[in-house]
Amino acid sequence: MTPEGQELLRRGGQALGLDLTPHEEQFARLLELLRAGNERLNLTALKQEKDIVLKHFVDSLTCLRGGHLDGELRTLDLGTGAGFPALPLAIVRPQLHLTPLDSIRKKIEFVRSAAQALGLMQVTPLVGRAETLGRDPAHRECYDRVVARAVAALPVLAELALPLLKVGGRFVAQKGPITPEELEAGQKAAREVGGQLTEVDPFTLPLSGDARTLVVLEKIRHTPAAYPRREGVPTHQPLF
Ligand code: SAM
């Protein structure tokens, strides 16, 4: 990583109240791996160092706002893609037990090899669809937290994420700007699958000023057996 990239990482971290200096080497290695992986696998549209540092690394860590991920929590990253937010989270929060999930095998193979290269032993990547996992007793209602960045609209996410959470668990959605209509639909969907909307936290991404919103849904009762519906249905026929 260039000195400019390091400085960006440091300042981005500071703006989030995080000292990333002890983790610089791991982030530099992740940047290298991502660039090398991108040449072979076309993993992410972002190619410039400053974009990767700010819009992948720092942006991923914004889900730490509000303290929802403090502790030894079993956490699933739904639709992790090339490992975001899972890999930056694993670097700065080694106490989290992280399961990055994606339906695309080549992405998960990248996440697995990156986690190994970075010595992130607490990361267990998984290929699969959230709809299937949500019906599998080995995963249904087994997680303390689910996170998702840039995956789907809130009502879709509610149906995919809430079945995976234990009662009392929380889903933290990392979104861009969100409309009142999407929030209302998300709130209704959450209720249908056993959750409730507990927090809407609008903020700007440090150093870029881009609008972001963290939305938190809490699981307050068991999800009815009918959910999640079969693969693709939550996306094509959202609950609300
Ligand atoms: N979270 C990553 C990020 O912020 O860079 C990736 C975002 S990408 C736009 C959305 C990812 O979600 C894709 O890799 C896609 O394969 C995955 N995805 C979408 N729906 C899914 C589902 N139902 N189950 C598992 N993965 C899913």
Pocket probe mutation, ligand 1, options 77, 151, 231, max atoms within 8 Å of Cβ: 151
Residue 49 lies in a domain: no
Show the beta-strand stretches assigned E in 68-184.
74-78, 97-102, 126-127, 143-149, 165-175
- Residues contacting 184, CB < 8 A, separation 6+: 240
What ligand 1 atom has the least distance to the C-alpha of 131? 23
What pLDDT was estimated at residue 45?
83
Q: Decide whether any atom of ligand 1 lies within 6 Å of the 157 Cβ.
A: no
Residue 95 lies in a domain: yes
Residue 21 lies in a domain: no
Q: Decide whether any atom of ligand 1 lies within 6 Å of the 103 Cβ.
A: yes
Question: pLDDT tens track of the chain, all 240 residues?
Answer: 999 999 999 999 999 999 999 999 999 999 999 999 988 887 888 889 999 999 999 999 999 999 999 999 999 999 999 999 999 999 999 999 999 999 999 999 999 999 999 999 999 999 999 999 999 999 999 999 999 999 999 999 999 999 999 999 999 999 999 999 999 999 999 999 999 999 999 999 999 999 999 999 999 999 999 999 999 999 999 999
Q: Decide whether any atom of ligand 1 lies within 6 Å of the 146 Cβ.
A: no
Domain that holds residue 224: 59-236
Residue 135 lies in a domain: yes
Cα(3) to ligand 1 centroid in Å equals 31
Q: Decide whether any atom of ligand 1 lies within 6 Å of the 101 Cβ.
A: yes
What pLDDT was estimated at residue 10?
97
**Ordered DSSP codes for 45-62:** S--SHHHIIIIIIIHHHG
Residue 210 lies in a domain: yes
Q: Are 194 and 224 in contact (CB under 8 A)?
A: yes
Residue 10 lies in a domain: no
Q: Decide whether any atom of ligand 1 lies within 6 Å of the 105 Cβ.
A: no
- Residues contacting 101, CB < 8 A, separation 6+: 76, 77, 78, 79, 80, 108, 125, 126, 127, 128, 130, 133
- Taking CA 92 as the corner, what is the angle to CA 88 and CA 93, rounded to the nearest 5 degrees? 105
Assign residue 196 the CATH number of its domain.
3.40.50.150
* ipTM entry: 0.99
Residue 201 lies in a domain: yes
What ligand 1 atom has the least distance to the C-alpha of 133? 24
The total number of structural domains that make up the chain = 1
Residue 50 lies in a domain: no
Q: Are 117 and 47 in contact (CB under 8 A)?
A: no
